[in-house]
Amino acid sequence: MAAEWWKKAVVYQIYPRSFKDSNGDGIGDLNGITEKLDYLKKLGVDVIWISPMYCSPMDDNGYDISDYYQVDPMFGTNDDMDRLLFEAGKRGMKVILDLVVNHCSDEHEWFVKAKQDPDCEEAGYFYFKRPEDGKEPNNWRSNFGGSVWTELPDGRWYFHTFSKKQPDLNWENPKLREKIYEMINWWLEKGVAGFRVDAITFIKKDLTFASRETEDGLRYPIENLTDYPGIGDLLAEMKAKCFDRYGCMTVAEAPGVSGDTFRRYAGENGYFSMIFDFTWENMEGETDKSSVEAVERWKQRILESQRFTSEAGWSGLFLENHDQSRCVNKYLEKDQIGFAGASAMAVMYFYLCGTPFIYQGQEIGMTNAEWNSIEEMDDVRAKGMYREALEQNGDPQKVLEYFGELGRDNARTPMQWCDGKNAGFTEGVPWLKVNENYREINVKAQEERGESLLAFYKKLTALRHQEPYASVFAEGTIRPVLKELPAVIAYEREWDGRIVTVAVNFKKTEQEIPVVGGKCLLSNEGELQQMGERYLLKAYQAVVFDGMIK
């Protein structure tokens, strides 16, 4: 059987607010995306994932949906969406949307009704408690800081995994589930090719809602209660009633799902086509990320994850998304940021077992911004944590530093299209500041330069699509090689008697590897130097061969 279509796809994530503004209001929009479809096509993108563009009060930039059927006026109209789908289709690209169904917005009509009338049908779509002592129903801590409970004026408390403007939906209620499935199928009928599925491991609750012990006496983090027993029934039902009927692509946000649970989620007949591999994204605690030791730790995590996931199912591979800092900052020390490191990382993840996702701006090497105050930031999470630090005698300065380095706003600064006003993102005032380095780092400059990261990403996608290599990457096994070489991440992919070898030197100095037979398909640092039976890899040199190590 041929590999499922999405195994050969390259996906590009768009955070619509920050991609391209078409009408000068300072906020990116759907027509802005349509304008840039040719750019994406040239980059070699097959599937575009658009972060939420539905009606929303934008407490969490659209991850708080008040109408699942309407595009928010800020982003355009449903007609604009139809046009975008049509224009993408014309160019052979598919569109997947963000499916946010763990919670909705407190301004969704369901919640508005539920607030007004405790006995209405919609009240059963949420979790309400009316504790006798009038206190917070339990000690669970929301993902964005503070309690998971918020009190209403009538003495009821409602549950929210994220901000208090994101009440959780009650998946125990079959009527609610039907409403969700109806909505999913409505979009699939319209022609979207699938979904990135938000925060899905939270939909099953511990229905005892009992407080939990914590060592520090502070609140109990809700993220410890993901993938709660019984969730499988809910996910299997959604798959059968929606996804299976359309052969669509689904990629779940399910951090923490590993081992045999991974199989249930992303194995053959899993609930989803794939889940994102979050196992190696976190570099917190590394004091020198570019050191051999840190790279070795990273490498172990990557290889271990690949060993398991390649055999058990399929992953979404990423270096960046809208919840992370920029990959050049995350994985490299400041003095190592540049083309070599960025392209080396790109090669390393692009040919692993899984579907590669590129986040907007990653292909031109966009970096974290400089944040001088909490006011400059926008992220509801950063603001929530800052507030919590102020209230609980914490250190707000530390929070600021933390989010400056690791915060989500870093990936949300406007896309840098050119060196003109506002980096070509908007004619108006951008909703979030433009990174000051846009004069050096922008699409136009890199399109003009033959040797740019953007040009290199085009080569990466081209190789991913070129047969027979496309089949090797989609269907082949993976085997680590040269494991003993410090800070070299190397692997072979094999399918149908053909072997492709990928080798990346993450060391700050050059390093020798044995000669690889066959032709060199890709190199980020020019010609390979050969000395007898050895190749000399420069610092951050990455190579791909049609052949195996001799």
Q: Which residues are catalytic?
A: 198, 253
Give the binding range for Ca ion (CB under 5 A) out of 20-28, 77-85, 88-96, 481-489.
20-28
Q: What 8-state DSSP symbol labels residue 141?
A: E
The partner in contact with residue 459, picked from Ca ion, ligand NOJ, none with C-beta cut-offs of 5 to 8 angstroms by kind, is none
Q: Do 170 and 161 touch, CB atoms closer than 8 A? A: no
Q: Rule CB under 5 A: is residue 27 a binding residue for Ca ion?
A: yes
**80 near Ca ion, rule: CB under 5 A:** no
Q: Spell out, one character per residue from 82 to 101, where the chain touches ligand NOJ: x when CB under 6 A holds, - when not.
A: ------------------x-
Examine residue 52 and say whether the peptide bond preceding it is cis (omega within 30 degrees of 0).
no
Q: Does 72 bind Ca ion (CB under 5 A)?
A: no
Residue 253 binding ligand NOJ, by CB under 6 A: yes
- Chain mean position to CA 274: 13
Cβ closest to ligand NOJ, residue 44 vs residue 316: 316
Among 21, 106, 151, 198, binds ligand NOJ (CB under 6 A): 198
| Tokens encoding 454 | 């953007």
The encoded tokens of residue 412 equal 């949300």
User: Is 429 near Ca ion (CB under 5 A)?
Assistant: no
User: Three-class SS of residue 131?
Assistant: coil
Contact between 4 and ligand NOJ per CB under 6 A: no
63 near ligand NOJ, judged by CB under 6 A: yes
CB of 406 to ligand NOJ, least distance (A): 14
Side by side, which strands form the sheet with 529-531? 511-514, 534-537, 529-531
Site for Ca ion contains 25 (CB under 5 A) = yes
Quickly count: other Cβ atoms within 10 Å of residue 35's Cβ.
15
Is 35 a binder of Ca ion (CB under 5 A)? Answer: no
Nearer to ligand NOJ, 72 or 253 (CB): 253
Give the helix/strand (H/E) hosting 385. helix 380-391
Annotate 325-379 with DSSP letters as a single string: --HHHHHS-GGG-SHHHHHHHHHHHHTSSSEEEEETTGGGT-------SGGG---
Binding marks (x or -) toward ligand NOJ, 308..347, rule CB under 6 A? --------------xx------------------------
Q: Report if residue 281 touches ligand NOJ, rule: CB under 6 A.
A: no
Report whether 56 contacts 66 (CB < 8 A): yes
What b/e string do you get for 88-120 counting C-beta neighbours within 10 Å, with b at 16 or more?
A: beeeebbbbbbbbbbbbbbbbebbeebbeeeee
Query: In terms of CB distance, is 253 or 277 closer to ligand NOJ?
Result: 253
Interaction of residue 277 with ligand NOJ, rule CB under 6 A? no
Task: Please check whether residue 238 is in contact with residue 188, taking contact to mean a CB–CB distance below 8 angstroms.
Answer: no
Q: Is residue 60 close enough to count as binding ligand NOJ by CB under 6 A?
A: yes
Q: Which residues bind Ca ion (CB under 5 A)?
A: 21, 23, 25, 27, 29
Q: Which residues bind ligand NOJ (CB under 6 A)?
A: 60, 63, 100, 162, 198-199, 253, 322-323
